[in-house]
């Protein structure tokens, strides 16, 4: 008997299917279920009848292997995770654009820097370094600041940190420094913390890390928000122009909203109250239209400058102070869109230091050279194969053509016969000697050696310069951080060795730390390859407080309210906060909200237990007399007030809140940072004062650290 063949052409087939298909809100095609809603299908497109029960032999019988839907669903779930990044596992990203201010053609032929006003799409991922993917945001740690700019000449990845120097001078030491800071391998703790023996053991045996340690022990390591951090390319790179002239360049990102950090005692509490504090902050800012912005600034210099500068420009443990070589703003980065899907974009984005467009080149910094190997290698492991560049977040946004093919999960496959060149059909893409990437023809010579140059040998002078450039509160915080961290070190000889390094940086700092650790006598200064220079000028640009924004824009006021809160004062605060482009949250005894004195009901963002004052930059205590009476019974309400005071925050208060302040133990030590709000007219002055951000003068009396 002849087999029946289908008479339906592909076109007919499409028409038949179209009757059952439906385009969803995101433009995706759906099959319809009986109620007209998009139908659940398997990954193969097979319609699913029951997603609640596995296929069984009888209602109480064994599961059947016939259940391909169950097997596919569980198989896919079992494979949902990819390896987390070996460092910088916890991160958060956003889309945006880079806008060039002026043509830099004299310095670089990089296309993105040629035309003033031109915007180029960008993606940024911020991260902590040591913690795993599920760790908390306010770890004392370096923050990653990785930027991918999708230029017309391919992707440029500037994979930087919020600190301009690094722990080590040579990439071969990277696994060691990272192993030492990660949880100790036998016990797998502590998580996301440097306060343990292994880390300080390695550091105290590695004098080149001392400059970085000063930064990591400073408030830079506990930023208030990603939006208030600087970013640095760290290494010296090269700009190369159309005629192959090279200029050395160091990259800096300067936040438009100024720098700000939190206090350590605050960071510890934020981690409990909101482990996603930094993520939430970025999400809320972008979703509410307050797009964070950074200026890209460069320090440009030539070989003559490099030859006369005090330190080797190839040494990644050194900076060039801005006071010696000013930074030049060359463009701005604006983040204006959150990813649609965290995994697809933020988790799968692959940054690689070797991604540079024509016109940007490397220096011989040995850390950078090692990184240029490591990043491609790690993406292969993490993303599972060589086609990670096919993922939309990693693919260039300019046209690209080559003969790479096949491999796991290839999404773009060549069409046609030719997959090599040269070929006899004159087909396919070809090289462009003029427009293509030309490496800067630096002339190099020398013997093959494993040697650290002598010019890298001064490990203490810039560490000292950083310390002496800080304001008194910042110096106190560095000392307190060292004391805290070393107090967690169980092996006395490591504590002593560390303090012996501090002796080479600043003796007062060293003795403060040694004294607090209970040393009977101070250790000798560590043997130093080179003596510490005392003549380096302080660099005010290194201080966060000196660089503070002096305004409250982008910050958040927490308003503690109750039923009967004075409506006029509350509304005046809202108006002024909005005027300052700042944010606010209402904290109430119940999440259901409160009724103000004028009878209007307002919603609460947090109930008092969920909105401790550590989540805010300043607070206003606005409960009515009756509300205060109720709050007096709540430990969380007392902590709200006491913490705000101890963390040196500005506090506005109405008279009816005084009993609460009494209970919190602050009523007898009011200072200029605790401001009475008698009436709505007092509000503008209060909000203006918030621009100072913290009352650091209060710190010694509250013994914050």
DSSP state of 305: H
Q: Which residue's C-beta sits nearest to ligand HDD?
A: 144
- Which has the closest alpha carbon to 197: 208, 182, 175, 210? 182
> Is 279 one of the binding residues for ligand HDD (CB under 6 A)?
no
What does the per-residue mask of binding to ligand HDD show for 228-247, with x meaning CB under 6 A?
------x-------------
List alpha helices for 350-406, DSSP H. Answer: 366-383
In the complex, minimum distance from the CB of residue 659 to ligand HDD, in angstroms, rounded to a whole number: 49
Tell me: does residue 127 bind ligand HDD (CB under 6 A).
Answer: yes
Q: Provide the 10 A C-beta neighbour count for residue 476.
A: 17
Task: Find out whether the peptide bond into 422 is cis, omega within 30 degrees of 0.
Answer: yes
What letter does residue 552 receive in the DSSP assignment?
-
Q: Could you give the CA distance from residue 586 to residue 592 in angstroms, rounded to a whole number?
A: 11
Of 367, 478, 510, 582, the residue at the interface with ligand HDD (CB under 6 A) is 367
Residues 156-215 that bind ligand HDD (CB under 6 A): 159-161, 166, 171, 174
Count the residues in the chain: 705
In this chain, which stretch among 364-372, 439-447, 581-589, 645-653 interacts with ligand HDD, using CB under 6 A?
A: 364-372
Instruction: Please identify, using beta-carbon distances, which residue of 235 and 638 lies nearer to ligand HDD.
Output: 235
Q: How far apart are CA 124 and CA 130, in angstroms?
A: 19
Cis amide bond preceding 643, omega within 30: no
What residues have CB less than 8 Å from 435, skipping those under 6 apart? Answer: 153, 358
Q: Is 139 in the site for ligand HDD (CB under 6 A)?
A: no
Residue 568 Cβ, how far from ligand HDD at the closest point, in Å?
A: 47
d(CA 81, CA 103): 44
**Nearest to 98, CA basis, from 164, 155, 165, 144:** 155
User: How would DSSP label each residue in 631-655?
Assistant: HTT-HHHHHHHHHHHHTT--EEE-G
Least distance to ligand HDD from the beta carbon of 116, Å? 29
Quote the least distance from Cβ 93 to ligand HDD, whole Å: 7
By CB under 6 A, the count of residues binding ligand HDD is 25
Closest CB 387 distance from ligand HDD, rounded Å = 16
Give me the least distance between CB of 367 and ligand HDD, in Å please: 5
Q: In whole angstroms, what is the distance from residue 537 CA to residue 535 CA?
A: 6
Stretch 66-85 residues interacting with ligand HDD (CB under 6 A): 85
Tell me the two tokens of residue 180. Answer: 């030492």
Q: Rounded to the nearest whole angstrom, what is the least distance from the CB of residue 210 to ligand HDD in the complex?
A: 16
Q: How many other C-beta atoms lie within 10 A of the C-beta of residue 319?
A: 26
39, 40, 55, 86: which one contacts ligand HDD (CB under 6 A)?
Answer: 86
Determine, following the binding rule CB under 6 A, whether residue 623 of this chain makes contact with ligand HDD: no
Question: What is the rounded distance in angstroms from the CA atom of residue 429 to the CA atom of residue 579?
Answer: 55
Binding status of residue 374 toward ligand HDD by CB under 6 A: yes
Q: Does 568 bind ligand HDD (CB under 6 A)?
A: no
Smallest separation, CB 407 to ligand HDD (Å): 19
Known catalytic membership, residue 504 = no
Which positions ≥6 away from 623 have C-beta within 8 Å?
560, 561, 562, 564, 565, 631, 654, 656, 657, 660
Question: 63: which DSSP letter?
Answer: B
By CB under 6 A, is residue 342 in contact with ligand HDD?
Answer: no
Nearer to ligand HDD, 171 or 631 (CB): 171
CB 577 within 8 A of CB 687: yes
308-337 binders of ligand HDD (CB under 6 A): 316
Q: Work out whether the CA dihedral 460, 461, 462, 464 comes out positive or negative.
A: positive
Among 87, 319, 510, 654, binds ligand HDD (CB under 6 A): 87
Tell me if 294 contacts ligand HDD by CB under 6 A: no
Residue 351 within binding range of ligand HDD, rule CB under 6 A: yes
The catalytically annotated residue of 95, 155, 161, 504 is 161
515: annotated active-site residue:
no
Residues forming the site for ligand HDD (CB under 6 A): 85-88, 91, 125, 127, 144, 146, 159-161, 166, 171, 174, 234, 316, 349, 351, 367, 370-371, 374-375, 378
- List, by residue number, the catalytic residues: 88, 161
């Amino acid at each position: 008997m002849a087999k029946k063949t289908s008479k339906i052409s592909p076109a007919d087939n499409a028409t038949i299917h179209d009757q059952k298909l439906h385009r969803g809100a995101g433009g995706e095609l759906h099959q319809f279920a009986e109620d007209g809603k998009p139908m659940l299908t398997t990954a193969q497109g097979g319609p699913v009848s029951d997603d609640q029960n596995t296929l069984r032999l009888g209602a109480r019988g064994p599961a059947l292997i016939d259940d391909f839907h169950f097997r596919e669903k569980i198989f896919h779930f079992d494979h949902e995770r990819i390896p987390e990044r070996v460092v910088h596992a916890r991160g958060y990203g956003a889309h945006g654009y880079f806008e060039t201010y002026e043509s830099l053609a004299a310095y670089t032929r990089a296309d993105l820097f040629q035309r003033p006003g031109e915007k180029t799409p960008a993606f940024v991922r911020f991260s902590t370094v040591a913690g795993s993917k599920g760790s908390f945001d306010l770890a004392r740690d370096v923050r990653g600041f990785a930027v991918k700019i999708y230029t017309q000449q391919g992707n440029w990845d500037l994979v930087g940190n919020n600190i301009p120097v690094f722990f080590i001078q040579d990439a071969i030491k990277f696994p060691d420094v990272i192993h030492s800071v990660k949880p100790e391998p036998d016990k797998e703790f502590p998580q996301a913390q440097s306060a343990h023996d292994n880390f300080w053991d390695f550091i105290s045996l590695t004098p080149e890390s001392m400059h970085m340690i000063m930064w990591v022990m400073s408030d830079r390591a506990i930023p208030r928000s990603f939006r208030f951090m600087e970013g640095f390319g760290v290494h010296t790179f090269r700009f190369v122009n159309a005629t192959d002239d090279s200029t050395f360049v160091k990259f800096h990102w300067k936040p438009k909203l100024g720098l700000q950090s939190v206090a350590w005692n605050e960071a510890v509490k934020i981690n409990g109250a909101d482990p996603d504090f930094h993520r939430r902050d970025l999400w809320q800012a972008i979703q509410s239209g307050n797009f964070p912005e950074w200026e890209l600034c460069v320090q440009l210099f030539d070989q003559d400058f490099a030859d006369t500068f005090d330190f080797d420009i190839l040494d990644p443990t050194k900076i060039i102070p801005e006071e010696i070589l000013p930074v030049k703003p060359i463009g701005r980065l604006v983040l204006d869109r959150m990813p649609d899907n965290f995994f697809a974009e933020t988790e799968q984005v692959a940054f690689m230091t070797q991604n540079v467009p024509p016109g940007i080149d490397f220096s011989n910094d040995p850390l950078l050279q090692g990184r240029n190997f490591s990043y491609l290698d790690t993406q292969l492991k993490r993303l599972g194969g060589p086609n990670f560049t096919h993922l939309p977040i990693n693919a260039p946004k300019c046209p690209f053509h080559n003969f790479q093919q096949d491999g796991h999960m290839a999404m773009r496959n060549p069409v046609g016969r030719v997959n090599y060149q040269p070929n006899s059909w004159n087909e396919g893409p070809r090289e462009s000697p003029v427009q293509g990437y030309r490496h800067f023809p630096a002339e190099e010579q020398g013997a093959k050696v494993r040697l650290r140059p002598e010019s890298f040998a001064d490990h203490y002078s810039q560490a000292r310069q950083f310390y002496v450039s800080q304001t008194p509160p910042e110096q106190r915080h560095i000392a307190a951080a060292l004391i805290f961290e070393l107090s967690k070190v169980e092996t006395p000889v490591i504590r002593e060795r560390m303090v012996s390094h501090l002796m080479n940086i600043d003796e007062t700092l060293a003795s403060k730390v040694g004294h607090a650790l209970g040393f009977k006598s101070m250790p000798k200064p560590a043997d130093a390859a080179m003596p510490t220079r005392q003549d380096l000028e302080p660099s005010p640009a290194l201080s966060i407080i000196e660089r503070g924004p002096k305004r409250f824009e982008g910050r958040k006021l927490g308003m503690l309210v109750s039923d009967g809160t004075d409506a006029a004062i509350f509304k005046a605060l809202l108006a002024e906060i909005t005027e300052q482009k700042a944010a606010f949250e209402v904290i109430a005894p119940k999440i259901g909200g409160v009724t103000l004195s004028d009878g209007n009901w307002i919603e609460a963002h947090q109930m008092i237990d969920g909105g401790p004052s550590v989540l805010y930059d300043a607070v206003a205590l606005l409960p009515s007399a009756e509300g205060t009476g109720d709050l007096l019974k709540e430990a969380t309400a007392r902590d709200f007030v006491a913490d705000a005071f101890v963390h040196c925050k500005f506090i506005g208060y109405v008279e009816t809140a005084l009993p609460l302040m009494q209970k919190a133990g602050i009523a007898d030590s009011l200072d200029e940072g605790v401001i009475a709000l008698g009436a709505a007219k007092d509000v503008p002055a209060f909000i203006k004062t918030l621009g100072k951000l913290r009352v650091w003068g209060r710190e010694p009396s509250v013994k914050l650290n």
